[in-house]
Structure 1
Amino acid sequence: MAEKNIPTLYDWAGGMPVFEKLMVVFYRKVLSDELLAPVFKHMSPEHQLHVAHFIAEVFGGPQIYSSSEGSHFKMIQKHLGRHLTEQHRKRWVQLLIESADELELPEDPEFRSAFVAYIEWGTRIAVLNSRETENNEDVDVPMPKWGWGETKGPFIP
């Protein structure tokens, strides 16, 4: 029996141009959103590009973020003390999914369930980190790697 050549989520989505365009469309929505605009209005113009590179890398794309823009440790630090609420998180997720729909990212159930699973997981981690004032993670904490089915058990703080 031949082994299947299963693409990464990054490749299945269409590669870096898709992730970069997704973040342009998404942050346009964020910056015009009454709830989220106050949180993001002071972000640098490069912020959306960094987020695109981060998510692309998590989904199996090139290591642009971790090799030249930051690390997972630094991403965690960016959320410290931000006091994000569940309402912020839900709206962020909603706008990102709307943006994915608008750009016609793959709609197959397998891709969308993996995409949404990571967005749910990552935003919940961001909210938890936003309640903290210091980063207790190891400076070398690896970048998350997300594929077609990644959860490995319950979160135990």
Structure 2
Amino acid sequence: MEQKTQVPTLYDWVGGQATLEKLTEVFYDKVLKDELLYPVFKNMASDHSRHVAHFIGEVFGGPKVYTENDNGTHAIMVAHHLGKMLTETQRKRWIALLLESADEIGLADDPEFRSALVGYLEWGSRIAVINSTTTDNPIDEHAPMPKWGWGEPGGPYQP
């Protein structure tokens, strides 16, 4: 009888909350030094990077720190982008800096994880740009948090 291996969540695979907090800390340090993104983030709260790490952690299958400890919801995260009028150039820079930060801190770089990460960043950043052109939140306050997984074929790279 073939034994099935348990597929880890993206949260576990990435290294948990401490790794995500390091990622967002390094990333937002870069953002605040970037002339294209600085105007968008110059007034962010001092704990912004930690809240984003909590959000990503929850989306990646980790504990509900964002919703239970930070009192966040998907609608609240979307609300942060409303009316910001984000551009495609800013979106691309945001992704580039995040992936640069991932490499800098030694985030898992296997193909399946990076595919899932890039897929999530593309999806989320494009939604942020769309929502930034309106002041009406399209997400109901009771909408569930998004969940992101491995995609296909599913699970980490197994050579």
Contact residue 74 and residue 139 of structure 2 kept, 8 A: no
Matched, 1:89 2:91: yes
1:26 is displaced (CA, Å) by 0.2
- Specify the alignment match of 2:102 in structure 1: 100
Offset at residue 66 of structure 1 (A)? 1.2
After TM superposition, what 4+ stretches of structure 1 lie above 2 angstroms from structure 2? none
Residue 4 of structure 2: aligned partner: 3
Assess if the C-alpha contact under 8 Å between 2:10 and 2:149 holds in 1: yes
Name the counterpart of 2:118. Answer: 116
- How big is the alpha-carbon RMSD for the aligned residues of Structure 1 and Structure 2? 1.0
CA–CA separation in structure 2 for the residues paired with 1:2 and 1:95: 40
- Is 1:36 the equivalent of 2:41? no
Deviation (angstroms), 1:23:
0.6
Could you say which residue in structure 2 is the equivalent of 1:153? none
The gaps in structure 1 that reach 5 residues or longer are: 151-157
In structure 1, the residue corresponding to 2:136 is in which secondary structure?
coil
Distance 1:110 1:133 in 2: 36
What is the CA distance between 1:132 and its match in structure 2?
Answer: 1.1
Query: What is the DSSP-based 3-state SS (H/G/I as helix, E as strand, rest coil) of the residue aligned with 1:11?
Result: helix
1:82 deviates by 0.5
The two structures have a TM-score, normalised by structure 1, of: 0.93
State the partner residue of 1:132: 134
Offset of residue 68 of structure 1: 2.7
Identity %: 61
Using the alignment, how far apart are the partners of 2:82 and 2:100 within structure 1? 27
Inter-partner Cα distance in structure 2 for 1:42 and 1:13: 29
- TM-score (norm: length of structure 2): 0.92
Partner of 1:154: none
Figure out how many residues of one structure are paired with residues of the other and give that number: 150
- For 1:77 and 1:25, how far apart are their aligned partners in 2? 24
Mean alpha-carbon deviation: is it higher for 133-142 or for 48-57?
133-142
CA distance in 2, matches of 1:86, 1:66: 29
Aligned ranges 1:62-73 → 2 under 5 Å: 62-69=63-70, 70-73=72-75
